[in-house]
Amino acid sequence: MTSIHRLSMLNILRRPLRSIVTATGVAVAIAALFSLWSFQRGYQAGLNSELEKLGAHLLLVPKGCPYDAASIALHGASWPCYLDQSYLKTAKSTKHVSAAAPVFMNAVYTPDTGAQNVYCGVDEEILKIKRTWKLDGQFPNKENGLLIGSELAKDRSWKIGQTVRMPGLEGTSGTVSGIIQPTQGPDDLFCYLRLADAQRIFKRPNKLTHILVRLDPPEQLDAVLSDLRGCGAGLEMNIVPLSHLFRTIQNLVESTRLLLGSIALIALFAAGAGVANTFMMAVSERQKEIGILRATGASRSHIFNMMIRETMALCLGGGIAGIVLAIASSGIVETWLRSKLPFAPHDSLIRPEYAVALGCILGAAILGCVSGLLPAWRASNTSPVNAIRSSGVTI
């Protein structure tokens, strides 16, 4: 026996091209919603993960733009200016500072491959900051000792104890004393060496690029900020609370998100209007047939139910196609977003999740329900008299 559901599904298939075009509108709108929602979650999770991997609560950098400085410190690049190493003492002596790790960072290019090689001069204090690090071998304690990121070691096939030519640094070699186990972050690509060695190689004695500071307890952030900004060294450096910085970055991205959100919302409205229009046309075309259904015993609620099922099924189909489309194009969207954002975490920016997919499917169902209200109401008010009135049409 035929069910109302089967009747609805068959009606959708009656004009496949029109159904596909209408569902495509829904698919595009849901794809935009899904991508935006996934980006929202991915970006926030990426920033939090980056903050966690950094292990520091404060970043002390030379005067200038703190966002640029944070980006360089997190992702690795050459620094345009430097801090005096004497500021390290001030940082270490500040109350509630549990660790202050000096860093001298520089990036050099290997001309033949064009690859960037990031060198970070550090001392053992870095291990108090990077608490998630697990080392194979040991921290370099001899001149020209190297601590290598896992990805770099794998790419170069470097082993512990091996003496290697340092990429991009002509005539300089070092001995691998340790390899950092995978962190899934930028550290996997960095080459760490002793602070003194880095300052010597890059000819910047007693200079630092930044200082990573960990607090104990972290809740004393405001007090530490006040102390550091109040001292003499505080005038010469930017003291960047990383949680504040990440929050600010998120706020900066918020406007982009709002814009994209508005576009997604407009697309949803347009898709809903398209669905409503398509089904209003369908109701007009099927006046006689609906009249026949009414004459053969269908109540108003049967007809209303049938039409709502049609719009919901079409929107659900479009919604699922939209999610598939969004997942399939997430790589392209991610590349585009990375090129536009002022700061992008190392982790994936677009993070498709089941909850987001379910939310979008629910959104598509609601869209189908709302956009179907008017056509369903109109169809349900069709009089059975139409079964006879518009004679001459062969069904």
Partner 1 sequence: MSSTKLISANNLVKHYHRGTETIRAVDGISFEVDHGEFISIVGPSGAGKTTLLQLIGAMDTPTSGSLKISDRETARMNDRELTLLRQQSIGFVFQSFGLIPTLTVEENIALPATFSGKKVGPVVKGLLERVGLGHRRTHRPNELSGGEMQRVAIARSLVHSPPLLLADEPTGNLDSTTSEKILELLQDLRRDGLTVIIVTHNQALAARADRTITIVDGKIVA
Which residues of this protein are in contact with partner 1, per CB under 8 A?
Answer: 1-4, 7, 10-11, 13-14, 288-289, 292-300, 302, 383-385, 387-389, 391-395
Query: Which CB sits closer to partner 1, 12 or 108?
Result: 12
Q: Which two tokens stand for residue 89?
A: 């003492």
Query: Which CB sits closer to partner 1, 13 or 355?
Result: 13
What would you measure as the largest C-alpha separation in the chain, in angstroms?
99
| Shortest distance in whole angstroms from residue 3 CB to partner 1 | 7
| Shortest distance in whole angstroms from residue 287 CB to partner 1 | 13
Query: Which CB sits closer to partner 1, 332 or 395?
Result: 395
Query: Which CB sits closer to partner 1, 7 or 374?
Result: 7
Which has the closest alpha carbon to 350: 370, 364, 336?
336
Query: Which CB sits closer to partner 1, 14 or 165?
Result: 14
Query: Which CB sits closer to partner 1, 129 or 387?
Result: 387
Give the 3-state secondary structure of 277-318: HHHHHHHHHCHHHHHHHHHCCCCHHHHHHHHHHHHHHHHHHH
| Shortest distance in whole angstroms from residue 24 CB to partner 1 | 22
| Shortest distance in whole angstroms from residue 321 CB to partner 1 | 23
Which has the closest alpha carbon to 105: 67, 74, 77?
77
| Shortest distance in whole angstroms from residue 19 CB to partner 1 | 13
Contacts 24+ apart (CB under 8 A), 222-229: 223/95, 223/96, 224/58, 224/94, 224/95, 224/96, 224/97, 225/58, 227/94, 227/95, 228/58, 228/60, 228/90, 228/91, 228/94
| Shortest distance in whole angstroms from residue 339 CB to partner 1 | 49
